[in-house]
Amino acid sequence: MAGRIRWSRFALVMGLGVAGMSTFGVAAATGAVPVSFTVSGGMLQASGERFDGKGIAIFGGVVQTKDKAYPAVMAAFDEADVRGICAGAVLEGVPVLGSVGLGIESEGFTARSVVVAIDELRTAATINDVRLGVDAGAASGAGPAGSFGVQAGSASLRDFHLNTRAVTAGTISLSGMKVNALTSKLECK
Amino acid sequence: MTQVQVTQWRRTRPFWAGIFLILAAIALIVPPYATLHIGDWFVSATTVGGFSAVFIGILLLVLAGSLWLRPQYRFPAGVAALMLSLGSLVTTNLGGFVVGTLFGVIGSALALAWTD
């Protein structure tokens, strides 16, 4: 008594499944469903028109990659609102392809519990309620206790250029995102 | 078991449905504990964390076992596997980087479409 597969029914269920997947996928892409995301290791370059952050803690830190440790300025934000962002990274040593560029352009996004490991930052900034010399362990964001830290209520950056090795975000809500795979390096404005 | 008996065993139950559910479970469980390394980069997209990955992954494994050992309950098992697979898309690493959800949906569809 061998069984068989009724392919018409298989197609029906697959159709339902794919419809469900795209519904959830769109919900995640538009930010209705929170997704947290981490990239680290190589150098990520980003530039944007505006960055507004609330609940800021800044402290010294280290980004640990597979075989190297890099010093970095860690900036933790409770809330961040970024507009007109363009980010690019080159992934070295990809199997088969060698190196691949990854470009992301977005109208903007809001994020909660963001930690950025800053390598270099060029911008015009307005920072409110600054307190220097706060114990990094006591500042909001999980800094190492006992080391120097800076705390600020809010900050606003215009036309920023950022080099970072690691970005972690608790929740990201994106609006209008475009991801490109490139064979050459992405040049953000 | 001889070759003939193995073939006989495969043909009398939704064998491939079970295989796809097991692959889906692996795709869900592994990424939270082994992040994706591309060159010097590592990428991980965690949602509620490793917990839901293990939770959904183990349930999918149990359902795969159910399909093989009790083919007559394939309908409830298939529906449950479909719901879990779709749920994993938002709760578990985007459904194991979509692969887990996709295999889970294929496996469930094969289970529901199987007839003896």
Number of other CB atoms surrounding residue B37 within 10 Å: 13
pLDDT score for A78: 86
Q: Tell me the average pLDDT across A114-133.
A: 83
Residue A99 forms contact with B (CB below 8 Å): yes
A4 and B114: CB-CB below 8 Å?
Answer: yes
Q: Please state the domain extents for chain B.
A: 14-113
SS3 at position A10: helix
Residues of chain B with pLDDT under 70: 31-51, 92-97
CA B91/CA B69 separation, integer angstroms: 29
pLDDT score for A165: 77
The per-residue DSSP string of A92-144 comes to EEETTTEEEEEEEEEEEEEEEEEEEEEEEEEEEEEEES-EEEEETTTSSS-PP
Q: Tell me the average pLDDT across A164-170.
A: 78
Q: Number of residue pairs across A and B with CB atoms under 8 Å?
A: 112
| Chain B neighbors of A1, CB-CB under 8 A | 12, 116
A35 and B11: CB-CB below 8 Å?
Answer: no
Q: Tell me the average pLDDT across A21-44.
A: 63
Indicate the average pLDDT of chain A. Answer: 75
A13 and B44: CB-CB below 8 Å?
Answer: no
pLDDT score for A30: 60
Give the bridge partners for A163, in sequence order.
A45, A120
pLDDT score for B11: 86
Q: Which residue has the higher pLDDT, B86 or A39?
A: B86
- B78 phi-psi bin (left φ>0, alpha ψ -120 to 50, beta other): alpha
Statement: residue A108 has pLDDT above 90: no
Q: Give which of B50, B13, B25, B33 is closest to B104, Cα–Cα.
A: B25
pLDDT score for A95: 53
Please give, rounded to a whole number of angstroms, the shortest distance from the CA of B93 to a CA of chain A: 8
Residue A20 forms contact with B (CB below 8 Å): yes
Q: Tell me the average pLDDT across A53-80.
A: 80
